[in-house]
Amino acid sequence: MATRFRLLFICLGNICRSPAAEGVMRKLVADANLTDQIFIDSAGTAGWHTGKLPDQRMTAAAARRQIPLTSRARQVHPSDLQSFDLALVMDHQNLHDLRSFDPEGLHKQKVRLFCEFCTDHPDTEVPDPYYGGPEGFEHVLNLMEDGCKNLLTHIQKSLLTP
């Protein structure tokens, strides 16, 4: 079997944005019958919520779209930069935090902003919905569905490239 593509989504606490991205991507990957070829995980730059399930408001919003969110929060580790093929962060602060693990820039090409894959929305960052209302969670999911479909196409092309 070919090596699996390893994908990591990163936000601040790993209870809203990155688990939503993980859930959306898992669904798309499963629908494309690629679960044996693409490994998906998420993490947070902070460890406050380690071991917790995703935020209930995000879980409910995702469930309305038939997207299960079942991951447990974990903090990103410097070794993640070595073991993942692509690490997508939700905002510029996450980008700064993650790049601090790689001062020599050895893995710089692996760390990108999630919104680079969005084509239907002009956002450059995924806003944190934690302190907002329900519309924030819906907006995040809209961004995730937009970016993840394009991300899947990107990964499929890389899997086919020798």
Q: How many domains does the chain have?
A: 1
Give the domain range for residue 63: 5-160
**DSSP 8-state assignment for residue 116:** G
- pLDDT value at residue 159: 81
Determine the pLDDT at residue 160. 72
3-state secondary structure 19-88: HHHHHHHHHHHHHCCCCCCEEEEEEECCCCCCCCCCCHHHHHHHHCCCCCCCCCCCECCCCHHHHCCEEE
Assigned token pair, 115: 């919104």
At 60, which CATH number? 3.40.50.2300
* pLDDT in single tens digits along all 162 residues of the chain: 346 899 999 999 999 999 999 999 999 999 999 999 999 999 999 999 999 999 999 999 999 999 999 999 999 999 999 999 999 999 999 999 999 999 999 999 999 999 999 999 999 999 999 998 999 999 999 999 999 999 999 999 988 776
Residues designated as active site: 11, 17, 128
| Residues contacting residue 92 through CB under 8 Å, at least 6 positions apart | 113, 125
